[in-house]
Structure formats: structure tokens, C-alpha cells
């Protein structure tokens, strides 16, 4: 082999190795935003042809519709392909990208994105709405629509904008490779825990019509055309918001537009009786908490089933990842909860087993007496909770209230649990300590209903007035 | 478009190199490079392209016409210098008159065309060499155009002399694998200096040279040290990249920096810092003024004039004049005190060849240079003086340890990376001082060289300050 050929081959090899290194770095350093980036990245990991319903738009879609509820209640395989403050042009390019891999029967489009009247979003929003897309002509077009010229190259490549994340990398950053399991189990939607308490205005009182910007309208019409070309049912929705002054004029404008175009438009702000959503269902004024999202998803599920022939995929092994997604959403939500009442209510929804331990004795007065009443909802006898003895109960099904007698040894699936107040002062699982007692009070070890996986450990200490705390 | 711009790497350089490689004659190669150079320059600001072409045409025609009448060389050089004076110093001169007389009139606010100081000086060096009979006039307009407009050097140098570059332009250059290897290594080192060190430090210095009045002592000292390294990494980084790109096209340019912060005195510093400019001033200003041939006093006056002019060349502001004057003062003071210092060392029995003594000399020189940079970087003279006053007032050394230094856009991790990068720069400087240069690396196996280049590329890619708010055009010396 001549010297020139050898050197050329070596240079090619070096070039390929460098490209591979850059790709790996890009995967690691990519911002793993729960909006925009992760939904798009996860979408690529879905099995082709499995997504029946695409939920698209800004955060009002990503947060207000719960894919877990649509799955658990109706078996609908929905995917929320959204981004925070996502303008219509990014929704359009997300849709173009989505249709390369899936043939959904319906696209549910949140129209909040039509309220943006700027030419370009702020720089962080620009990035999260394109960074998850793979390099393609569609991404190039998306970048052109998203950012001014001087920023387009950086935005297209991504790495120039997020390469300085090296100081904030976590385990998650090393799990976003094509062979990682995580992305396929993420169906896009995002749950918020927390309550506001807002007064709900009457949307009917706002009759003003907003002027939709030319750019937003242009991309909205492209979405309409694309769905028509592909034979996809396009359903427009405005999910609930407290900030009606801002959004209702747009909803009013869209109502007229939808009528003109022969599209279905559901203004959920005007459907609070059907959904049952009230001011406590908001996380803050523009976003629902998961409780609100569950209520909305129940209504949306009914609408989808009424309008479309959607198969119930529950139990189909090809759709197992929707089960995992629902588990992940529910488990993640449980870990976010900080109020006792909410926590117990979430346990009551089912799917969880709890090892409830009473450690020590204390004076039986408020707030313990109220707490005992709340715990009793899980099926534990109040008099046992008020007794002087330490002990434990295995609540094998919180929803059904199946509780074992008070004891110290329990069996859950293939695992045996021992509660030892004497020598170890700890709880062991198959002989290994999983929890050490630190203070007098009630402790809950929360397990996955079937798998026996430990999900959460929460304490209600006597010294802290039986408020929920985590180690 | 600059060397660290993606358009340069992804489009300009590959296309330029491809077209260049297809040329079979020196004429073709030069035509391609000239066209590329004009495109490159136009990418900064197309309206100043005419000025570049105009200055080039004047010096080219001056070179041809001067064969009959030597004074034409000088006339052409003066014409070029006039352009520099008008564009660079009009505002400064009028502003100074305004301050002195108190007259109130609006300033024209003329923008300085990028690279003007460099290409005017390069054109003048050609004309002065013709005048001194050191060079034959270049008759081929493409060759001459390329000499002035050559894209790797037109924006920030190194300032080339006709007698060094024109002979290389006239010859057909071969594409050589060794040149490509040198290009990769040298370019990546330049990019490392620019992106990993200079632009990271700029996050702090840009802010603290604005908000200096809120800080004292240690913070301002660290900031002036940071700027000392920033300006070196910035300008040397650019020079390395310019030398590297030139080598890709077969041109061999001389080093523009030779470990300046290892200099043992100020004279030594200027032999190592911006060598092409020092050489220009030495040959075309210091020697014509009489150099050191007309007695000690005249020599000192000449040195002082050269440094004042050098200060003005760097920027049209009194702070630059003071910076130049300070360096002139350092050098003259060094000359005057040399015999006394020698006598003192002899009396104290200090061995001037011991490493510790030389280290002390380097430390003092570095400190003097670092102090002078405050005047160079400050927006004006009064701000520079306030900066110095604040720096010397209240040391507050705890600021080095209580996390204060992470409040200026450089996190603890970034500081660790910076210190590592500066350590690497120091190591490379010492090795080069001891005679190890790029040739030592180029002799290694291809695998070793490739691994080194790959590692440098990855380090730059991850730890470089680029993208986002970063503006690649902000090379410090491009403003002069």
C-alpha cells in the first residue's frame, strides 16, 4: 500500500473517531429538559406505529394532559410532544418530525401557542424547542423559523450552546443513548405537584377577539394542511387556565377559525362542569397540577373515544412501555408530595403496598388523633394506632384497605421483612437493613404493588407534629 | 468570519483549500488565495474592502512608479499612513482638542476598519524596503495584492515584510503532508489559547474592568493577572492560528511570540512579544531616528519615541500612550540602572547566572508588564488610575479563598480548568524555552500526533468559551 493511501486511510479513521467522540459528547452534554428536548428525544425511541394520539403544543399541553391517565383509564397510547412556550412554528416542525416515524389517528393541539406574537422566542426557549430534534432538513427549517440568522448555526448544532454544561452533569446525562431504556418509557407528559387556590373567572364574560400574529397563523395553517394531507384528525383544545384575560381572547378567535375550517375545538375553560376542575387543581395560575391534569385527561379521553375508533392497548406486550410510563409518572409524583393528606390520597388511588410502622409511644392527643383518622383511611385499626405498643402493619393494597394484623414479620412477594425495635432498631429486607429508626413516630415504607420495589420512605415524627418528612 | 467561526471551518477553508489544491501554477494558487482573502475581509465589513483595495493599489503603484523617482515610495507610504491617521486618530485628536480647549463640537465618530493598522504597516514596510533598496518592486498585481491582503494575516498580523513573504508568493508551493500536520497542531494550540484560556478569562476581566470601583486589593490584582494571561493567550492564539493556516497553503511565517512572560527584562520582553511589530518599529522608526548611534541621551529619546508611537499604534487614547510611555520608561530605567545594579550584585556576591536570580528577574519583569496592562485595558487614563489606587488600597486577601472570585462568571470548576490550562501553557513555554518546539512533536508517530490533536480538539470543544453569548469576532488585537 502506498504511503498516500495509508495516510489517507489513517486520516479517515481519525476523522471517524473524532466524529464519534463529538457525537458521544453531544449525547452527554445535551440539555435534558423535560419539555421540548426529552419529549422529542423520547419520541424517536418509540416503536413505529404505536402512538395513536399525539398531544402537541406548549406547556399547557405537556403539563395539563396526563398520558398515564389516558393509558390507565382508556388504554389510549398517547404521546405528548411539546415544549415550554412552544410557538406554532416549532409545533409544526415537531409534527413533521413525528410523522416520519408514527401514523397517529389524532393530533390534539393546544392553541396556547397562537398567543405568542413575537418573531422569535427567547434564546433558552429557542434551544429547548429544537435541541431534541435529530439533524435533518426539517430541523434546518425549524432552526430557520426559530432564531435569527446569527444564531442558527449554533442552534442547528446544539453543542456550541450547551457544551458548557460539563459542570452540572448528573447520572441522567449519561443515560441518553440509543441503547438506553429510559427514553422509550417516557411519553412526554410532565406532572406538577402543589396547590394554588384560585378564583375561577367566567370565560363567557370575555368576548374580545385577539389578533393572531401572521407567523403563528401561517404555521397553524400548515399544521391543518399537514393533518388533512395525512388523514389525521386534528382536534383543537384550550386547556384550563386562571389567566383568562390573556388566553380567552385567543380562544374566542380560535373558535371562529375552527368553525371556518371545520375543526373541532374544545375550550375546557368553558367546560369546568364536565371536567370538575376548580381553583385547587392549579399548581399556579397558568398550569394545572397532576390532580387537575388527571381530571382533564378523563374528559379528553371520553372525547377521543367518542370521536375516534381507538384501540384499547392495555395488556398488549407491544405497549408495555405505556405501563412503565404510567408507573414512572405516578411514582415520581408520589415522591414530590409534601402534604400528608395528598400523600395518603395518592396511596388510596392504589397500586402501592405500604409497610406502616409505629415506633414508640407518646401522649395520644392532637395532632396525632387527627392523623390516626387519616391513617385509618388506609385500613389500619384506630385502636391499634392508639395503643401503647410499637408494631407494624403491611397494607398490601391501599385502595382496597387490605391490612395484615399488627406484627413484626411480613412477606411481600418473594421478600421477607423484619421490624426489629430491640437490637437493630431497624427494618430489614431479606436480612439487609433498609431503614433505621431515628425518632419516635410513624414510618411508611411504600412499595410498588406488584414488583415489591421500594418507592419511598416517609416519616411522621412525634417531635415534628406528625408532618410528612423524608430523610 | 474569524478562525474560530464555524463558517470558516465548514465552508470557507475547505472550499479555499480545494480550489487552491486544484491550481497547477503559482499564479493560479495566488489568484485563488487573493480572491479568498477579499471574501474573508469582506465578511467583516464589505464597505471597508474598498479601503483595503485602495491602500493596496496605492502601495503597489507607488512601488512601480518609485523606480523612476524614489520619493514616490515615501509619498505612497505617507498616503497609506494618512489613511491610518484619518480613520484611527481623528476622533482622538479632536477629542483631545475638545478637552484642552473646552470647545463644544460633535465628534465624527469614525469607525476603525478591521486590520487597518496591520495592512497599512505591511504596505509601508514594503515601500520603505524599496526605498532602502532591500527589495525589488513586485510587478504582478495579484502577487502584491496577496502580500497585503493574505487572509490569515490581514486582520491581526503577524505583520509581514515584503522581502520575507513575496519570494514565497512568487514560487509555486507544494502541498505537503508535513505542512498539514503542522497546521493541525499549531491551529489547535492557538484555538486552545484563544477559546479555553483567553475567552474564559474575559468573562472576569470584561466585568471587573467595568466595575473596578466596587473592588479592592486581591480581587483587582487577580483581575490584572487574569488580563495579563488573557491578552497573551488571545493574541498569541490568533498568531498561532494565522501561522498555521498560512502553512496549510505552504507559507512559512515567523513566530510572533516567544514565551514573552519568561523575559528577564523589558528589552527582552519586547524581543519576545509581538515580534513582527517590534521588528517593524525597530527597522522603520528606531533606526531611522538614529537608534543607539547618536549617544546615550538621544538613544533614550529614541526609545521613548518608539514606545509612545507603539502605544498610539495600539489604540487612539491617552491610556495607550501612557502604557507605551511606561514601557519606554521601564526600558530606559533598566539601561540607566544596569551598571549600578551590576555593581550591587558584585558587591553582594550574587551569581547572575543562577536559576533563582533569573527567576527573580522574570518575576519582576512579569510584574512590571502586568501592571502596565492595566493602562492598556482600562477605558481611559482616569479609570486606569482609579483602578490602580483601588488595587493598592486594602489587600483583602481572603477574597482569594471565600469564593469571591467565582462571582464573575467563572465557577470553581472553571477556575480549576483555567489553572490547569495555564499550567499547561507554562509547561509548554518552559519546554519551548529549552528548545523543544513543534518539530519535536511532529517527529512522533502518526498515532501519537493524532491522539494529541484529538485530545486538544475535545478539550477545546468542551471547555472552550464559545457559542451562546460568545462573539467569535472579539479578538482583542483585531481592534487595533
Test A29 with B465 for CB contact under 8 angstroms: no
Contact residues on chain B for A22, CB-CB shorter than 8 A: 461
For residue B136, the 8-state DSSP code is: P
Q: Are B265 and B361 in contact (CB under 8 A)?
A: yes
Q: Which residues contact B265 (CB under 8 A, 6 or more apart)?
A: B334, B361, B365
Distance between CA B461 and CA A307 in Å, rounded? 51
The predicted pLDDT at position A199 comes to 86
CA distance B313 to chain A (A): 32
Whole-Å CA distances, A18 to A25, A411, B391, B452, B457: 10, 54, 46, 12, 9
Give the model's confidence band at A305: pLDDT under 50 very low, under 70 low, under 90 confident, else very high.
Answer: very high
Residue for grid cell 416515524: A101
Contact residues on chain A for B450, CB-CB shorter than 8 A: 10, 14
Instruction: Find, among B222, B224, B213, B199, the residue nearest to B405 by Cα.
Output: B222
Residue A379 cell numbers, joined: 385500613
Distance between CA A444 and CA A430 in Å, rounded? 18
CA distance A155 to chain B (A): 9
- What's the whole-model pTM score? 0.83
The predicted pLDDT at position B129 comes to 94
Nearest by CB to A153, which of B6, B177, B464? B6
Distance between CA B113 and CA B155 in Å, rounded? 10
The predicted pLDDT at position A451 comes to 63
Residue B2 cell numbers, joined: 474569524
The predicted pLDDT at position B269 comes to 96
Model confidence pLDDT, tens digit, residues B267-312? 999 999 999 999 999 999 999 999 888 888 999 999 999 999 999 9
| Half-sphere exposure at residue B179, Cβ-oriented, CA atoms within 13 angstroms | 15
Test B461 with A164 for CB contact under 8 angstroms: no
- What is the sign, positive or negative, of the torsion defined by CA atoms of B111, B113, B114, B117? negative
Nearest by CB to A10, which of B6, B446, B467? B446
Decide if pLDDT at A50 tops 90.
yes
Distance between CA A302 and CA A70 in Å, rounded? 9
Nearest by CB to A22, which of B461, B466, B467? B461
Cα pseudo-dihedral B28, B31, B33, B39, rounded to 10: -140
**Range with the poorest average pLDDT among A59-63, A289-293, B7-11, B178-182:** B7-11
- Which residues of B touch chain A, with CB atoms under 8 Å apart? 6-7, 177, 411, 413-414, 446, 450, 453-454, 457-458, 461-468
Test A161 with B468 for CB contact under 8 angstroms: yes
Residue for grid cell 476581566: B205
Decide if pLDDT at A26 tops 70.
yes
Mutate to test the interface with B, among A5, A160, A169 (most CBs of B within 10 A): A160
What average pLDDT does this structure show over A153-158? 90
Q: Are B321 and B304 in contact (CB under 8 A)?
A: no
Distance between CA A220 and CA A239 in Å, rounded? 17
The predicted pLDDT at position B394 comes to 77
Q: How many contacts, defined by CB atoms under 8 Å, are there between A and B?
A: 46
Active-site positions of B read 314
Test B6 with A29 for CB contact under 8 angstroms: no
For residue A185, the 8-state DSSP code is: G
Test A29 with B462 for CB contact under 8 angstroms: yes
Radius of gyration of chain B (CA): 23
Q: Which residues contact B462 (CB under 8 A, 6 or more apart)?
A: A25, A29, A163, A166
Q: Are B275 and B258 in contact (CB under 8 A)?
A: yes
CA distance A375 to chain B (A): 48
Rounded mean pLDDT of chain A?
92
Contact residues on chain B for A157, CB-CB shorter than 8 A: 6
The predicted pLDDT at position A414 comes to 83
Scanning B252-317, the segments in alpha helix (DSSP H) are 266-272, 275-281, 296-314
CA distance B379 to chain A (A): 28
User: For chain A, what percent of residues have pLDDT higher than 90?
Assistant: 72
Decide if pLDDT at A465 tops 80.
yes
CA distance B458 to chain A (A): 8
Test A123 with B465 for CB contact under 8 angstroms: no
Please tell me which residue, A140 or B110, carries the higher pLDDT value. A140
Q: Which residues contact A2 (CB under 8 A, 6 or more apart)?
A: none
CA distance A226 to chain B (A): 33
Give the model's confidence band at A286: pLDDT under 50 very low, under 70 low, under 90 confident, else very high.
Answer: confident
Nearest by CB to B467, which of A18, A21, A160? A160
Distance between CA A347 and CA A325 in Å, rounded? 18
Distance between CA B236 and CA B231 in Å, rounded? 8
The predicted pLDDT at position B472 comes to 35
Instruction: Find, among B201, B261, B202, the residue nearest to B426 by Cα.
Output: B261
Test A25 with B462 for CB contact under 8 angstroms: yes
Q: What is the DSSP string of A65-86?
A: S-HHHHHHHH---EEEEE-TT-
**Range with the poorest average pLDDT among A16-20, A392-396, B476-480:** B476-480
Distance between CA B199 and CA A6 in Å, rounded? 38
Residue A136 cell numbers, joined: 435533518
Residue for grid cell 482638542: B97
Q: Which residues contact B475 (CB under 8 A, 6 or more apart)?
A: B2, B155, B156, B194, B234, B235, B238
Residue A259 cell numbers, joined: 368553525
Global ipTM: 0.80
Contact residues on chain B for A166, CB-CB shorter than 8 A: 413, 462-463
CA distance A160 to chain B (A): 4
Contact residues on chain B for A148, CB-CB shorter than 8 A: none
Decide if pLDDT at A7 tops 90.
no
| A159 φ/ψ angles, rounded to the nearest 5 degrees | -55, -40
Test B6 with A157 for CB contact under 8 angstroms: yes
Residue B178 cell numbers, joined: 508535513
Residue A471 cell numbers, joined: 430523610
Q: Are A159 and A25 in contact (CB under 8 A)?
A: yes
- Measure CA A228 to chain center: 29
Nearest by CB to A17, which of B6, B413, B454? B454
Decide if pLDDT at A98 tops 50.
yes
For residue B282, the 8-state DSSP code is: I
Distance between CA B147 and CA A262 in Å, rounded? 69
In 3-state terms, what secondary structure has residue A376? helix
Contact residues on chain B for A14, CB-CB shorter than 8 A: 450, 453-454
Element at B326 (helix H, strand E): helix B318-348
For residue B132, what are the β-bridge partners?
A: none
Residue of A nearest to B200 (CA): A164
Residue ranges, chain B, pLDDT below 70: 468-480
The predicted pLDDT at position A397 comes to 87
Model confidence pLDDT, tens digit, residues A201-249? 889 999 999 999 999 999 999 999 999 999 999 999 999 999 899 899 9
The predicted pLDDT at position B471 comes to 37
Nearest by CB to B454, which of A14, A25, A167? A14
Distance between CA A36 and CA B480 in Å, rounded? 44
Residue for grid cell 479513521: A13
Instruction: Find, among B304, B322, B320, the residue nearest to B312 by Cα.
Output: B320
Contact residues on chain A for B453, CB-CB shorter than 8 A: 14
Test A159 with B467 for CB contact under 8 angstroms: yes
Biggest CA–CA distance in chain A, Å, is: 92
Residue A165 cell numbers, joined: 454544561
Test A161 with B467 for CB contact under 8 angstroms: yes
Distance between CA B114 and CA B156 in Å, rounded? 8
What average pLDDT does this structure show over A432-436? 91
Instruction: Find, among B328, B326, B316, B246, the residue nearest to B281 by Cα.
Output: B328
Residue for grid cell 515610495: B73
Amino acid at each position: 500500500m502506498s504511503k498516500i493511501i495509508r495516510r489517507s486511510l489513517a486520516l479517515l479513521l481519525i476523522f471517524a473517531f473524532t466524529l464519534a467522540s463529538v457525537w458521544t459528547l453531544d449525547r452527554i452534554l445535551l440539555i435534558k429538559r423535560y419539555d421540548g428536548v426529552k419529549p422529542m428525544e423520547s419520541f424517536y425511541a418509540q416503536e413505529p406505529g404505536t402512538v395513536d394520539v399525539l398531544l402537541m403544543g406548549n406547556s399547557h399541553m405537556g403539563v395539563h394532559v396526563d398520558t398515564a391517565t389516558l393509558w390507565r383509564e382508556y388504554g389510549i397510547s398517547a404521546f405528548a410532544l411539546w415544549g415550554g412556550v412552544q410557538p406554532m412554528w416549532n409545533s409544526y416542525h415537531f409534527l413533521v418530525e413525528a410523522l416520519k416515524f408514527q401514523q397517529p389517528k389524532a393530533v390534539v393541539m393546544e392553541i396556547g401557542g397562537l398567543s405568542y406574537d413575537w418573531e422569535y422566542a427567547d434564546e433558552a426557549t429557542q434551544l429547548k424547542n429544537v435541541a431534541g430534534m435529530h439533524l435533518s432538513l426539517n430541523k434546518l427549517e425549524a432552526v430557520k423559523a426559530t432564531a435569527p440568522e446569527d444564531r442558527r448555526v449554533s442552534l442547528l448544532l446544539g453543542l456550541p450552546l450547551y457544551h458548557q454544561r460539563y459542570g452540572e452533569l448528573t447520572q441522567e446525562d449519561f443515560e441518553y443513548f440509543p441503547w438506553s431504556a429510559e427514553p422509550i418509557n417516557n411519553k412526554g407528559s410532565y406532572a406538577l405537584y402543589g396547590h394554588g387556590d384560585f378564583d375561577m373567572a367566567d370565560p363567557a364574560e370575555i368576548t374580545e377577539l385577539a389578533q393572531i400574529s401572521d407567523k403563528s397563523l401561517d404555521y397553524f395553517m400548515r399544521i391543518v394542511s399537514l393533518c388533512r394531507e395525512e388523514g389525521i384528525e386534528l382536534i383543537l383544545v384550550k386547556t384550563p387556565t386562571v389567566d383568562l384575560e390573556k388566553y380567552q381572547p385567543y380562544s374566542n378567535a380560535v373558535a371562529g377559525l375552527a368553525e371556518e375550517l371545520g375543526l373541532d375545538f374544545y375550550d375546557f375553560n368553558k367546560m369546568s362542569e364536565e371536567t370538575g376542575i376548580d381553583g385547587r387543581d392549579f399548581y399556579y395560575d397558568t398550569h394545572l397540577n397532576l390532580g387537575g391534569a388527571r381530571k382533564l385527561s378523563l374528559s379528553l379521553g371520553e372525547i377521543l373515544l367518542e370521536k375516534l375508533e381507538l384501540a384499547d392497548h392495555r395488556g398488549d406486550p407491544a405497549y408495555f412501555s405505556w405501563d412503565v410510563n404510567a408507573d414512572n409518572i405516578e411514582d415520581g409524583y408520589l415522591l414530590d408530595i409534601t402534604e400528608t393528606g395528598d400523600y395518603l390520597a395518592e396511596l388510596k388511588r392504589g397500586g402501592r403496598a405500604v409497610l406502616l410502622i409505629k415506633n414508640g409511644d407518646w401522649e395520644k392527643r392532637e395532632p396525632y388523633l387527627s392523623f390516626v383518622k387519616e391513617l385509618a383511611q388506609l385500613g389500619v385499626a384506630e385502636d391499634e394506632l392508639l395503643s401503647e405498643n410499637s408494631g407494624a402493619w403491611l397494607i398490601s393494597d391501599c385502595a382496597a384497605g387490605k391490612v395484615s394484623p399488627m406484627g413484626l414479620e411480613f412477606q411481600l412477594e418473594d421478600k421477607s421483612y423484619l421490624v426489629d425495635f430491640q437490637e437493630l432498631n431497624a427494618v430489614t429486607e431479606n436480612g439487609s437493613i433498609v431503614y433505621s429508626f431515628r425518632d419516635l413516630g410513624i414510618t411508611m415504607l411504600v412499595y410498588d404493588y406488584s414488583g415489591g420495589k421500594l418507592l419511598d420512605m416517609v416519616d411522621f415524627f412525634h417531635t415534628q407534629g406528625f408532618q410528612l418528612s423524608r430523610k | 468570519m474569524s478562525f474560530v467561526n464555524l463558517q470558516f471551518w465548514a465552508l470557507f477553508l475547505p472550499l479555499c483549500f480545494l480550489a487552491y489544491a486544484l491550481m497547477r501554477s503559482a499564479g493560479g494558487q495566488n489568484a485563488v488565495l487573493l480572491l479568498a482573502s477579499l471574501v474573508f475581509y469582506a465578511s467583516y465589513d464589505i464597505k471597508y474592502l474598498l479601503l483595503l483595495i485602495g491602500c493596496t493599489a496605492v502601495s503597489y503603484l507607488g512601488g512601480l512608479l518609485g523606480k523612476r523617482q524614489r520619493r514616490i515610495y515615501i509619498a505612497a507610504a505617507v498616503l497609506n499612513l494618512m489613511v491610518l491617521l484619518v480613520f484611527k486618530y481623528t476622533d482622538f485628536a479632536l477629542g483631545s482638542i475638545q478637552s484642552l480647549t473646552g470647545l463644544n463640537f460633535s465628534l465624527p465618530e469614525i469607525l476603525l476598519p478591521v486590520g487597518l493598522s496591520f495592512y497599512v504597516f505591511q504596505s509601508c514596510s514594503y515601500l520603505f524596503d524599496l526605498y532602502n533598496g532591500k527589495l525589488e518592486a513586485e510587478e504582478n498585481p495579484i502577487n502584491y495584492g496577496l502580500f497585503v491582503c493574505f487572509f490569515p494575516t490581514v486582520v491581526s498580523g503577524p505583520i509581514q515584510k515584503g522581502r520575507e513573504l513575496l519570494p514565497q508568493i512568487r514560487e509555486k508551493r507544494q502541498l505537503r503532508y508535513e505542512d498539514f500536520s503542522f497546521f493541525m497542531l499549531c491551529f489547535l494550540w492557538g484555538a486552545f489559547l484563544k477559546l479555553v484560556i483567553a475567552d474564559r478569562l474575559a468573562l472576569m476581566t470584561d466585568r471587573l474592568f467595568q466595575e473596578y470601583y466596587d473592588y479592592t486589593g486581591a480581587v483587582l490584582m487577580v483581575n490584572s493577572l487574569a488580563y495579563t494571561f488573557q491578552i497573551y493567550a488571545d493574541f498569541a492564539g490568533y498568531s498561532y492560528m494565522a501561522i498555521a493556516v498560512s502553512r496549510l497553503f505552504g507559507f512559512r511565517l515567523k513566530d510572533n511570540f516567544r514565551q514573552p512572560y519568561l523575559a528577564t527584562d523589558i528589552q527582552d520582553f519586547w524581543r519576545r512579544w509581538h515580534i513582527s511589530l517590534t521588528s517593524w518599529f525597530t527597522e522603520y522608526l528606531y533606526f531611522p531616528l538614529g537608534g543607539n548611534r547618536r549617544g546615550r541621551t538621544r538613544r533614550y529619546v529614541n526609545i521613548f519615541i518608539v514606545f509612545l508611537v507603539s502605544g498610539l499604534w495600539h489604540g487612539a487614547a491617552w491610556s495607550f500612550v501612557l502604557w507605551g510611555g511606561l514601557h519606554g520608561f521601564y526600558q530606559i530605567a533598566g539601561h540607566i540602572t544596569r551598571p549600578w545594579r551590576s555593581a550591587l550584585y558584585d558587591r553582594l556576591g550574587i551569581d547572575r547566572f543562577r536559576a533563582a536570580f533569573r527567576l527573580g528577574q522574570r518575576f519582576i519583569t512579569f510584574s512590571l508588564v502586568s501592571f502596565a496592562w492595566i493602562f492598556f485595558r482600562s477605558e481611559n487614563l482616569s479609570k486606569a488610575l482609579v483602578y490602580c489606587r483601588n488595587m493598592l488600597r486594602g489587600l483583602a486577601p481572603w477574597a482569594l479563598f471565600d469564593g469571591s472570585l467565582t462571582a464573575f462568571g467563572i465557577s470553581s470548576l472553571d477556575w480549576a480548568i483555567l489553572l490547569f490550562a495555564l499550567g499547561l501553557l507554562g509547561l509548554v513555554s518552559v519546554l519551548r524555552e529549552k528548545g523543544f518546539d513543534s518539530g519535536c512533536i511532529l517527529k512522533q508517530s502518526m498515532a501519537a500526533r493524532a491522539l494529541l490533536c484529538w485530545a486538544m480538539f475535545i478539550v477545546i470543544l468542551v471547555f472552550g468559551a464559545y457559542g451562546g453569548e460568545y462573539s467569535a469576532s472579539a479578538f482583542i488585537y483585531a481592534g487595533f
